[in-house]
Structure 1
Amino acid sequence: MTDQGWRRPGDAPPPPQGPAYPPPPQYGSAPYGARPSGPRAPTPAPAGVGQGLVIGLVVGAVVLALVAGLLGGAVGALVASRRVEPLPPPTASSSSAPAPPRSVAAMAARVLPSVVTLRVSGGGEAGTGSGFVIRQDGYILTNNHVVAVASGGGQVTVEFSNGQRLPARVVGRDASYDLAVVKVARDSLPVLRLARSAQVRVGDPVVAVGAPLGLESTVTSGIVSAVDRPVSTAGEAQGRSFLNAIQTDAAINPGNSGGPLLDDSGEVIGVNTAIARIPGASRSGQSGSIGLGFAIPSDQARRTAEQLIATGHAAHPIIGVTLDLGYSGPGAKVLARTRKGPDPVVPGGPAARAGIHPGDLIVAIDGERIRSAEELIVAIRAHAVGDTVKLTIRRDGTEHRVTMKLAGRSD
């Protein structure tokens, strides 16, 4: 926050104007304008004026004392002639007053009953994460990496904001989108509504709710820092996820995973899933928020959740090519054909029907430039099976544009 009255350390403070206020708190080891403590050394007087100066000060002090005495007597008489009134009774604390309808406080009161803490164990591991209710009949959305350790016969316990705990079963999970659905045997649960993440704008206010480090019902706020941010997360046992993420500076920490990212009306625009790590930080040690958090857009979360509830699996859109992950130039390169191994362009797939050849370089999708194979995968995964996309490819120095309909595949 900017204070137009701040000055550089060491400047003399300006003369007081109006009522005196205490100086604002400052960062550092000493308050702003601090000076060495202890008595101040006297300033040497010029030669020949010392005695006259002392006499003048003494006389001035006497006159000042007399004036102060007269004023004190007058003020005392005035006070004595008036009846002293008692102080007014204290007013109610602002924290007990109703919060404005669109404030963070009001939103938190509405959404917290729908946000849960997941306690998961299995395979000798245990941990906590977050989730939120998406259907009244007990369906809860979270991240795949939150419940993955329980997939081999482990346990999932859901804790609500009122402290009630219920066992849950994993309905379905998808590693590629890092989403999962669990269910508890309870009806009439309060539901969070999924908004249209396609309408999210950079700068929109957001609120993240979850259980960072196991601290349930934690609320943090910030803004949307970026949209359509290509993010590829690599989990050890959970698989690799490709996300077209919403970036936020709202504090997200380990344990926030699976919790909602909400707009200012309290509707879900994303599922919190990852945070950036400072380059060079150890992967074995968990780091906290550095203001770079990422959420799965709600449009993608809705499609995947509906598929997981209906079938236990989710379909991913594909174009039917194998990409050369060793290529380091701009764009995504289709693997060249080799004597051994499968055809890098799947026969009969969307890419083959559109005329893409092995070794082609894909440089754009729907007019947006592609800088890497991961960016192409993320861009394709942001669509739904059956969507039509336009690719720009480069072959022998010439660019071509092709159109294809995305096929589907389940892991």
Structure 2
Amino acid sequence: MRRSPWIPIFVLLAIGLYFAPREGGRAIDFNLNLNPLPQLESSLKLPADVETLFKKSRPATIRVEQVGNDGSQSIGTGFFIDSKGTFLTAYHVIEDGGHVNVTTLSGMRFTANVVGFDVARDIAVLKANVRGTVPFLPVARNEPALRSPILAIGNSHEQFLQPRLGRVLQYDARAYKFDFPQGTVMTSAPLAPGDSGGPIINTAGEAVGVVSYIQLANSDLTPLANSDDVQTVASFAVPVTRDDEIFNAVLNGEKRDVPVMGVTESNHAELYDVEGAVIGNVTPSGPADRAGLRAERFLPRRDAGGELTRRFSADVIVAVNGERVRDFNDMAFKIRSQRIGDTVTLTVMREGKQIDVAVKLAARKALEN
């Protein structure tokens, strides 16, 4: 007698149901992530008081996985801030869209949805689709004291929710790149890619910051968005406190983008003998394009021997609202200080002539859609 092919199928289904998550939530819906669960590792040798703080705080932290619409995947960290599954992470961890999944210390996996974000501040609030309650970290009322010890928990170096210790080195740190958050807390915690979005925890077990970026040994800044091994000189976290206006706005669902005009920097800026922001590309139908700014192009010319060659030609922004611009980074800082919908007046050098161009700024996401 021929054996029914449905028997092994039913057996597999039964096994699957037996091991299905019971903590609640939708186990990743149909945006399946076939990566194995991260393995728990023994923690570093910690002082007794820090070990206690780590064991108490660790269940409230999570691994955050974003699966992009193109199939790409990034891994960061986050932490629950209430018992219903609301969590904080860095905006750059989830900014590419697609599906967001989280993994808890107990190995449970849930999908998550974006509640609010602030791009300039590099923070995002999401809600994991849990049932029941989850452990969480209370958000502090005040920033930690200078030189005070802090604990970070993250997922760098292919580890799972491991401790990183450090101290507060500086308040109100200024990043020298326009697309990094300003006014951060500098710490000595040895963070690396995978730790982004994780908590900075004070000795009372409260979250006082969200990990954002690091400074490498060669002085470069990186938003912890790759898996390369790094040597960290300093790490930077966005401060969060219960009474912070931006944190509460994002928690209540505001989605704060940054103003842009739709230009990128030329790769040949050093060839132009002028101080200012040399424009490389202009986004089609974006604010700069509609205002008449020109992308970099090649123009024909004849050299001294009469041979026909080409030269670069680009619009160079030398002032924003009358304020001089040193380079593209300086120009972008000035644009980000405006609001979406504002109209700025650019002073532009074009083929040796100075012109004024009015540009109405748009939200960054509007240009990407």
TM-score (norm 2): 0.55
Quick check: 1:253–1:275 contact (8 Å CA) kept in 2?
yes
Distance 2:243 2:363 in 1: 16
User: What residue number does 1:249 align with?
Assistant: 188
Q: Choose which of 279, 286, 307 in structure 1 pairs with 2:249.
A: 307
Say yes or no: does 1:116 pair with 2:58: no
Distance of aligned partners of 1:247 and 1:280 in 2 relative to their CA distance in 1, 3 Å threshold: closer
Once structures 1 and 2 are overlaid, which stretch shifts more, 301-310 or 249-258?
301-310
CA distance in 2, matches of 1:192, 1:376: 36
Aligned with 1:298 (options 230, 233, 240): 240
Structure 2: gaps of 5 or more residues: 1-42, 260-273, 277-289, 293-319, 325-329, 339-361, 365-369
Deviations 1:182-225 (A, max 9, x none): 2112242222112245x433211111111113311210111111
| Structure (1 or 2) with the greater strand fraction | 2
Map 1:175-186 onto structure 2 (within 5 A): 175-186=119-130
Percent of pairs with identical residues: 24
Q: What SS class does the counterpart of residue 116 from structure 1 fall into?
A: strand
Larger RCO (CA under 8 A, 6+ residues apart): 2
CA contact (8 A) 1:119 1:156 kept: yes
Shift of 1:287: 4.3
Task: Report the AA paired with residue 119 of structure 1.
Answer: E
2:115 maps to 1:171: yes
Deviations 1:310-335 (A, max 9, x none): 2341388x9xxxxxxx979xxxxxxx
**C-alpha separation in 1, matches of 2:140 and 2:227:** 34
Deviation at 1:278, TM superposition (A): 3.2
**Residue 375 to residue 208, structure 1, CA distance change in 2 (3 Å):** farther
Residue of structure 2 in register with 1:359 after alignment: 322
Question: Does the aligned pair in 1 maintain the 2:156–2:195 contact within 8 Å?
Answer: yes
User: 1:133-172 maps to which residues of 2 (within 5 A)?
Assistant: 133-149=80-96, 151=97, 154-172=98-116
Say whether the 8 Å CA contact 2:187–2:235 is kept in structure 1.
Answer: yes
**1:194/1:178 Cα in 2 relative to 1: closer, same or farther (>3 Å)?**
same
**TM superposition shift of 1:267:** 1.1
Q: What is the aligned partner in structure 1 of residue 39 from structure 2? A: none
Choose between structure 1 and 2: higher helix proportion. 1
In structure 2, what is the Cα distance between the partners aligned to 1:172 and 1:327? 38
- Shift in Å at residue 360 of structure 1? 5.7
Paired with 1:308 and 1:268, the residues of 2 have a C-alpha distance of 16
Query: Could you tell me whether the CA contact under 8 Å between 1:107 and 1:266 is conserved in 2?
Result: yes
Displacement of 1:138 in angstroms is: 1.4
TM-superposed deviation, 1:232: 5.0
Q: For each residue in 1:225-284, what CA deviation from the matched residue of structure 2 results, as whole angstroms up to 9, or x when unmatched?
A: 1111112556xxxxx233211111111110000000111111111111101123387988
When residues 277 and 291 of structure 1 are mapped into structure 2, their CA distance, relative to the original with a 3 A threshold, is closer
Q: Which amino acid aligns with 1:190?
A: P
1-structure distance, mates of 2:216, 2:335: 22
Pairwise CA distance, 1:286: 3.0
Question: Is 1:190 equivalent to 2:135 in the alignment?
Answer: yes
Question: How far apart in 1 are the matches of 2:363 and 2:54?
Answer: 37
Query: Who is 2:283 aligned against?
Result: none
Quote the Cα distance in structure 2 between the aligned partners of 1:302 and 1:282.
Answer: 26
Report the alpha carbon displacement of residue 303 of structure 1 after superposing the two structures with TM: 3.6
Structure 1 unaligned runs (5+)?
A: 1-94, 235-239, 319-325, 329-339, 343-356, 362-371, 382-408
Question: Counterpart of 2:202?
Answer: 263
1:104-156 superposed Cα distances (whole Å, 9 cap, x missing partner): 1111111111101112211231121100011222111101111123x1xx221
Question: Relative to structure 1, is the Cα distance of residues 168 and 296 closer, same or farther in structure 2, using a 3 angstrom cutoff?
Answer: same
* Distance of 1:250 and 1:156 partners within structure 2: 26
RMSD: 4.4
3-state SS in 1 of match to 2:54: helix
Rg comparison, structure with higher value: 1
Maintained 8 Å contact 1:132/1:142: yes
Partner Cα distance (1:280, 1:271) in 2: 21
Structure 2 contact 201–208 (Cα < 8 Å) conserved: yes
Rounded to whole Å, the distance in 1 between the matches of 2:103 and 2:83 is 16
**Per the alignment, in what secondary structure is the counterpart of residue 228 of structure 2?**
coil
State the partner residue of 1:6: none
Q: Which residue pairs with 2:21 in the alignment?
A: none
Kept in 1: contact 2:171–2:185 (CA 8 A)? yes
CA 1:275 to 1:287, structure 2 compared with 1: closer, same or farther past 3 Å? Answer: farther
